[in-house]
Amino acid sequence: MITSWIRAIFVSAVTLFVWPLGTHAQDYPSRPITIIVPLAPGSGLDSVVRLYADRLQKSLGQPVVVENKPGAALMLAAQFVSTQAADGYTLLVSTSSAMAINLTLYKSVPYDVKQFTPISYYLKAPFVLILDPSVPAKTVPELIALGKSTAAPLTFSSPGAGTALHLSGEYMKSKFGLNMTHVPYKSTPQSIQDVAAGHVSMSFAEVAASQGLIKDGKLRALAVTTSSRLPQLPDVPTFAEAAPAPGFEAVSWHMLFARSDVPKPIIDRLHAEMDKIMADPEMKKKVTDIGLLPIDPPSIAETEKYLAAEREKWGSLVKQLGLEGSQ
């Protein structure tokens, strides 16, 4: 009798603990959702978020608000979301900088990446290798040969040490054993313009930022860093096929995150909604027009594996360059 009484109390306690959680997830969402963006309005990342926020709002039946919190190398936004309630009403969009590179580059990161779980990995931010047209290399193999044989190092620009664009250049240098020197700038436009002006040999650049100069013949595009060719530059080969270098990929990416202690049914609901949104041909076209590469979101488990691989890849390179804890 006593045993039965104790068992009844235990079952009741478990039910009381689980019931609010299940009910909360089942009723989600019952009020507005906020997506925190780590860059300023008008950026490519921000523009895409606003595209799918509008669609999420329609499918979920609640307002979806986009709030910009730029600063601290994209870490301010992540820090803010890490302090919010784990109820699925405050989400984060982030990139390889805040969720992979900065973990090794910075002495201190104001959040633990274990506090976050990916909801959707929905696009890649591709880069294109651009050259000063006066550089005597018209293919990737010719550039590799030049970079190995030249006495004076080739120069490559980026918008700053430790950025994804800088590390893409270092990744190429390490991969092929090239004689190259990094030239950091304070902004992306300046780093690209100085390649076109002949002050720097080459750079990795975002497609949207360099496409006009490529079409005008002021820059030579040798390869894109994605594993497949880009619709915006269909005649430009991938590194994998041009070098050739199977498996070569150096991209940033955009992911939607929630706190890792948000109930799983909520995460699964949002993942499913993003799957539907990113499958829409109109959505894919709008993302492509911005200069980005939409993808079919992999499963959450596959995305977590990809995140782990990206952290290892870029973290190892940062250490190899002696930049660990340099910021």
Percent of the chain's residues with pLDDT above 90: 82
Phi, psi values for residue 278, rounded to 5° = -75, -10
> Which pLDDT does position 208 carry in this prediction?
87
Residue 304 has pLDDT above 60, yes or no: yes
The answer to whether the CB of 239 falls within 8 A of the CB of 126 is no
Same fold? 31-125+252-320, 127-242: yes
Q: pLDDT, tens digit, for every residue of 213-226?
A: 999 999 999 999 99
Percent of the chain's residues with pLDDT above 70: 92
Give the whole-angstrom CA distance, residue 168 versus residue 147. 16
Residue 116 has pLDDT above 90, yes or no: yes
For 31-125+252-320, give the CATH class.
alpha beta
Residue 257 has pLDDT above 80, yes or no: yes
- pLDDT greater at residue 319 or residue 19: 319
Residue 287 has pLDDT above 90, yes or no: yes
Residue 289 has pLDDT above 70, yes or no: yes
Domain with residues 127-242, CATH architecture: 3-Layer(aba) Sandwich (3.40)
Residue identified by tokens 């301010």 is 76
Q: What are the DSSP calls for 127-188, one per residue? A: EEEEE-TTSS-SSHHHHHHHHHH-SSPEEEEESSTTSHHHHHHHHHHHHHT--EEEEE-SSH
Q: pLDDT, tens digit, for every residue of 11-29?
A: 444 444 444 444 456 789 9
> Which pLDDT does position 25 carry in this prediction?
67
Residue identified by tokens 């009403």 is 89
Beta-carbon contacts of residue 230 (< 8 Å; ≥ 6 apart): 126, 128, 207, 224, 236, 293
> Which pLDDT does position 22 carry in this prediction?
44
Domain spans of the chain, in order of start: 31-125+252-320, 127-242
- The tokens for 248 are 């070569």
Give the whole-angstrom CA distance, residue 36 versus residue 48. 13
pTM of the model: 0.86
